[in-house]
Amino acid sequence: MKNKGVLLLCLLLTGCASDRCYKGILHAHSLWSDGNVPPEEAVAWYKDRGYHFMSLTDHNQLQTDTNRWKKVTGERWSREKVAYVRLKTFAELAAGFNESGRFLLLPGHEANRFVRGIQAHLNVINTDRVFLIPNGMQTSDEAFSRVWDDAETYARLEQRNMLLMVNHPDWRYFDIPPEVLIRNPKICFYELCNADGGPVFEPHPLWYKPDKYFDIVNAFRIEDGFPPVYGIGTDDTHHYRPGDTGYSRPGHAWVSVFARKLTADAILDAMKAGRFYVSTGVELGKIDFDGSILKVKVAAISGVNYEIKFITTRRGFDRTSEKFVDPESGKKPAREGIHYSDDIGRTVRCVKGVSAEYKLAPDDLYVRAVIVSDRKPENKASNEPEFQTAWTQPFVPGKAVR
């Protein structure tokens, strides 16, 4: 695969010399739901390739039933080509795979439901309880809000560190528009790059791209005095084996988290502080933000060229949007399209090389960096960029992230 995820002794920010960079995946499936391999094979895929943490987020359930069996087919299972296997529980998986300082399995699940024709999906990470989207929800806003409120109440009462994120907002066809995250500032995380979970329908050219979505939500939220939303990268893995023709293959997008140690609390606390980046192959050696200047340095690969782009939106941006009807809506879900102003998400500096910095202008609402290499991904996934890329989180002026 393109990145071996070797443990890097690297700085996140000035004053964090003890932090390490941990590579992880927070959206993957197994035979507990609609993945095509037993859970131990899914976990082994990531651990064997140098990932440091992961969460198996099977649909609407945790892996707790000690008597769950699954019918499987193929010669690898039996001479009769049909067999039943007992699925290992999370406790069994953690006992077999967790290794101090090297690998951590986090309990989690994906909650999902159709809400009046819209797919509402979210992951709950580091939970020992299942949180379901109730029947009768009228909007995705209501569905997400209900789960967020229930989970936050539970986490507070149980003193448990949990993370929730909205999944693949562009699937099946722009199901979760930016307004949902703008209206719900309690949503702190969403999938910026679900590498194998892109639109199943070819989008109209006026639709926003994933990077634009990131800026739309943050521009509105930050100007209105709310915290930014952080982007996450995942595989949403379903098909693990060489030769699989299905969608959602492993090893295409992940998060790299700068944390003091490999524990659930340390990883989640670092992510909640924005101390991580998303990657499809580019590794960063340093990210430094002192409240006004963002500095980025690439952990460069010999022979690979890099371009570092700084992106911002300025206070007083054009908040108007233009609605349009996709002329092929008869062949797709009948979504009313929304086109946003070019004021949102402007590239204000572009540097070719392995390090660069940008000083925020007085009216910049935030700054974030996108680092693009000239190296193409291996066996490109459906929603993966054309070239290996990394994205920092948005940094807000005056708020140094330490």
Within 10 angstroms of residue 65's Cβ, the number of other Cβ atoms is 12
* Nearest CA among 251, 144, 141, 252 for reference residue 193: 252
Here the tokens at position 317 are 């941006």
CA gyration radius for the chain? 21
DSSP letter for each residue of 212-231: HHHHHHHHHHHHTTPPPPEE
Check residue 192 and give its pLDDT: 98
Contacts of 26 (CB under 8 A, 6+ apart): 54, 55, 57, 106, 108, 123, 125, 163, 165, 232, 234, 255
Instruction: For residue 17, name the pLDDT band (cuts at 50, 70, 90).
Output: low
Dihedral of alpha carbons 18, 227, 311, 214, sign: positive
331, pLDDT greater than 70 = yes
Check residue 6 and give its pLDDT: 31
Let me know if residue 11 belongs to a domain. no
Let me know if residue 130 belongs to a domain. yes
Check residue 202 and give its pLDDT: 83
CA atoms within 13 A on the CB side of 60: 9
Per-residue pLDDT of 147-188, as tens digits, reads 999 999 999 999 999 999 999 999 989 999 999 999 999 999
Instruction: For residue 325, name the pLDDT band (cuts at 50, 70, 90).
Output: confident
Check residue 4 and give its pLDDT: 38
363, pLDDT greater than 90 = yes
Check residue 80 and give its pLDDT: 62
Note down the domain range covering 32.
Answer: 20-391
Let me know if residue 365 belongs to a domain. yes
CA distances from 190 to 33, 56, 144, 230, 248 (A): 22, 17, 12, 7, 18
Question: Of all residues in the chain, what percent carry a pLDDT higher than 90?
Answer: 81
Largest CA distance in the chain: 70
The Cα–Cα gap between 252 and 271 comes to: 20
Instruction: For residue 242, name the pLDDT band (cuts at 50, 70, 90).
Output: confident
Q: Are residues 389 and 284 in contact, defined by beta-carbon separation less than 8 angstroms?
A: no
Let me know if residue 5 belongs to a domain. no
232, pLDDT greater than 80 = yes
Instruction: For residue 8, name the pLDDT band (cuts at 50, 70, 90).
Output: very low
397, pLDDT greater than 90 = yes
More confident residue, 325 or 40: 40
Let me know if residue 238 belongs to a domain. yes
* Nearest CA among 264, 179, 279 for reference residue 229: 179
Q: What's the number of domains the chain is made of?
A: 1
Beta pairing, strands 230-234 & 368-373 = unpaired
Question: Of all residues in the chain, what percent carry a pLDDT higher than 70?
Answer: 93
The phi and psi torsions of 257 (rounded to 5 degrees) equal: -110, 130
Check residue 334 and give its pLDDT: 79
Let me know if residue 396 belongs to a domain. no
Q: Which residues pair with 279 in a beta bridge?
A: 254, 390
Check residue 247 and give its pLDDT: 75
Average pLDDT over residues 217-230: 98
CATH classification of the domain holding 50? 3.20.20.140
Dihedral of alpha carbons 126, 54, 132, 30, sign: negative
DSSP letter for each residue of 151-168: HHHHHHHHT---EEEE--
56, pLDDT greater than 80 = yes
Let me know if residue 6 belongs to a domain. no
Instruction: For residue 326, name the pLDDT band (cuts at 50, 70, 90).
Output: confident
Here the tokens at position 1 are 């695969």
Check residue 379 and give its pLDDT: 87
DSSP 8-class letter at 99: B
Beta pairing, strands 163-166 & 118-125 = antiparallel
Instruction: For residue 252, name the pLDDT band (cuts at 50, 70, 90).
Output: very high
354, pLDDT greater than 50 = yes
212, pLDDT greater than 70 = yes
Check residue 328 and give its pLDDT: 75
Average pLDDT over residues 244-251: 83
Check residue 360 and give its pLDDT: 98
The Cα–Cα gap between 353 and 278 comes to: 19
1, pLDDT greater than 60 = no
Beta pairing, strands 254-259 & 276-279 = antiparallel
Per-residue pLDDT of 303-319, as tens digits, reads 999 999 999 999 999 99
11, pLDDT greater than 70 = no
Query: Taking all residues of the chain, what is their mean pLDDT, rounded to a whole number?
Result: 92
Please give the model's pTM, rounded to 2 decimal places.
Answer: 0.94
CB-count burial class (<10 Å; 0-12, 13-18, 19+) for 230 = buried
Per-residue pLDDT of 94-130, as tens digits, reads 999 999 999 999 999 999 999 999 999 999 999 999 9
Check residue 78 and give its pLDDT: 58
The Cα–Cα gap between 314 and 360 comes to: 10
Secondary structure (3-state) at 49: coil
Let me know if residue 305 belongs to a domain. yes
